[in-house]
Structure formats: structure tokens, C-alpha cells
Structure 1
Amino acid sequence: MSAAFKELPLDLARSLGFLSRLPVPARYFEGHDGSMGRTARAFPLAGLVIAAPSAALLGLLPHRPETALLLALLALGLSTLLSGALHEDGLADSADGLFGGRDREHALTIMKDSRIGAYGVIALILSFGLRTAALAALLASAAPLLAPLTLLAAASLSRAFMVWHWQTLSPARPGGTAAAVGQPSIASRNLALVMGAALALLLSRLTPAPPLAVLVAFAVSAFAALLFARKVRRTIGGHTGDTIGATQQITETAFLCALAVVL
């Protein structure tokens, strides 16, 4: 095993410390300068860990058609709690800035504002509503593991797209949070994408979901990432911490909804 892969558990621990509220021992950060150039490659694995309790909730609790919405919302609420609403905050700020800003500087100013506007509220409602409805539809299927495994697949793949967005676009604010921790290397981006896609396909193959349906969901999620990156580039010229988080929400929603629709 190469030295790079031997350090993957270390990168996973640091990724969890960056992406979640899960307790990570301080020893994993000793001597670390905070750079995410290599660490970001473990984001898809971190997504699995963060979503695992929610997936267990969906898989272990008994459910009926009339309780599917409730269980789906509880699962998403748990994931949000474990992530500290990091990605939801990014989605809301991005929506306010990208759609409410008059120009680049105004958009960036709005995104730094801690207050939430109408676009941010609407984006959060749609994110939770669409993902809850999609998970509820998957729970209503005859396959008991379809919803929990799909949630894990979406969590992993969406965090791989975060790395892609982060690496592909230049920083919109040289002094911003995302710029301060560096940019993922091309090797980290490629490994994250391969890992996210492989984990999503593997987890999906453990369910009765047809391979074509999984590929369609994957394609829709990738297309959503491309469209959002294009909007970000044209509006503010590059990524911010908010747009990185928004990428996770957008691509996870796209994957879940597409799979629920095509099945």
C-alpha cells in the first residue's frame, strides 16, 4: 500500500472535523496547517460516515406508507444535526447572493451577511422538501434497503462533487475561508470523484434498483453540478465556501429525486 493510501484514514478524520460536528480526537490535527489540498480526497468517505446514522434509522425503524414522510424528515434532520447545517447554510447564502445580487460585489456582500433572505428560505424549503419526498417514495418501495443505501450513495457522491466544484473554480474572494485552507489538488479531485462514483454505484448495486436508473440519477446529479458551477462562475467569478456547500445540497437533491422518479 502506498504512503498516500496509508494516510487516507488521517484524511478521513480531518475531513470529518471539517465537514461535521462529530468529535474527532485532537491528535489528528497536530502539526496540520489546515490545508485541504490532499485532505479533501476523503470527503466521499466522510459523507458515508455522516449519513450512516440516518441510513440506519431508515433501515432499522419499522415503517408504513403513512409514516414514510415522517421517517424521511427525521433522517434528514439527523444528518443536518451531525453536519451542523454546514451545507444548508451554504445553500441559503448562495441562493441569496447568486439570485439577489445586482452585480458580483453585491452578490458577495450578500453571501457574507449572516441574515437569510427570501431566496435562501425558498432554497432550504425546496431542498428539505424534495429530499424528504424522494426518500419517502423510496421507502414506499418493496425493497427495505433501497432508501437507506440510496441515502448513503447520495451523501458520498454529493461530497465528491463538492471537491470537483472547489478544484475546478478559482476562489471568488482571495481572503475568503475556502481560499484560506487552500484548494484540492487535481489528484485529490480525481480520487474523490472516482471514490464517490464507485461507492454510489456499489451501494446502489446492493439494492434492486436497475443499473440504468442509477446511471440516470448519476448523470442528473453531475449535470446539476455543472449547471451550478456555470452559474457561480458567471455571477461571482469563482467559488466560495458557500457555493461549495451548496453544491453538496444541489447534487444530493438531484440524485435522490432522479432515482425516485425513474424507479
Structure 2
Amino acid sequence: MDILFNTHGLIQIISLLALGLVAGVINTLAGGGSNLTVPLLMVFGMPPDIANATNRIGVLMQSFAGAEGFRRKGCLPLHDFKAMLLPLFIGAAAGGFAAAFAPQTLLKYFILGAMLLVAGITLVRPDVIAPPPGTVTKRVTDVPSSRWFLLLTGFYGGFIQAGVGFPLIAVFAGSLRYDLVRSNALKALAVLFFTAVALLIFIVQDQVRWIPGLILGVGSTIGAMLGVKMAIRASQRSLKWFLFIMTLIASAAAVLL
């Protein structure tokens, strides 16, 4: 892997930029983009733990671009984010430490179950994931169970990242009743914070490969900016069906990986 990137292999660079762009769009609109980028890094010779850690650079960059894009469009609600941040932070720190020392296949079936649950709810009870216009949002203090969901989601995000957008959307849209645009905006900001925590742990453990990670991050950032524009323009119905399709695709990827 180091030899490939020290010589700046054109195929590897183009692949990382292209798949990073696709993943940035997917993660901004739904989730599951890391199911594309982590296997790509492994194909290029990285062990699973190194690929999992290196992938966080792209996730961090795209999350910043996505959150900032939503903020500029006035779609990032921050009035209750402090209450969301603490359980996410604690969960991410615990998950990051776990990922540094534990087999990353440990939580495979957890995320598969979470993704299938989101897909099922989207199909059977779309009003849960996509609240109708005029739905009043709730604070974390109004829904005490949301703290536990955020804690568990932060742990999973710190541990393995892939597919974390689905349980985050389930919390923000399902429990706290934000529409899908604002749920995606909050998701981007949440992922930004807990990815920073996990990435710091991986850096200390010397598990991050910077050159491929930054190349991936450039593509992911462009994808996130495109994703914000698509999210703002899309209808709630379109976002709902995109979320449903991506949960099925990500679930299939989780089974195959």
C-alpha cells in the first residue's frame, strides 16, 4: 500500500477520488458510503483495522463540508445540539478505543439489524422516518430514551463507522421528529464530532495512512457539497425513498463484507 501511494499510482488516486465522491453524496443524503470506501482501501492492501481508521479522514472532511453546507442554507438546527453531543461523545470515545483493540466484525450484525429496521420502518411506517410537514420537533429532554440511542450510535460510529447514518436518522427523525433535511444536517454535525474523537484515538495508535486518506477526503468533500444541494432541492418523499433504497443496498453490502 505504501509503495502504491508513494508512486502516486493513477488508478488508485482516481478510484479514491471517484468512490469518495459517491460516498460523500450517499452519506449526506442517507448513509452507508463507508461500505464502499473501506473495502476499496482493503483492496489496495490495507488491513481491516488500518482501512477502518484511514477511512475516518474522508468521513471527517465530508461531515464538515456537509454540516457547513446545511448551515449556510439555514437547515442546521443547533438549539438542542449540546444535549445530543455528550452521549455521542462518550459513545464515540468508547467505540474508538474498542476499535483500536477489538475485531471489527464484532458489531456487523448490530448494524445489519439497524439498517434493516430503518428500511422496514421507512416502508411500513414512513411517517416515523419522514415526519409530515408541520410536525413539532422534540428536545432530548422530552425523549429520555434518545440519550441511550445517541450513546449506542456514537459507540458504533466510533467503532466501525459504516452505516452509522441510518441509526442517526432513526434518532433525529424517528425520536426527535426532525424532517429528513434537518435530520441529515444534524447527522453530518454529529458524525463530525464523534469521528474527530475516534480519529484522534486511531492517530495515537498509528493506524492512519494519511496520503490515501486525504485523497479520499477530497473526493468525499466534493460529494458532500453536491449532496447538500441535492438534499435541499429534493422533496421529502424523494429523500424517503432514497433512504429506503440505500438501506437495502447497505444491508446487502454488510452481509457480503
TM-score by length of 1: 0.31
Larger radius of gyration: 1
TM-score by length of 2: 0.32
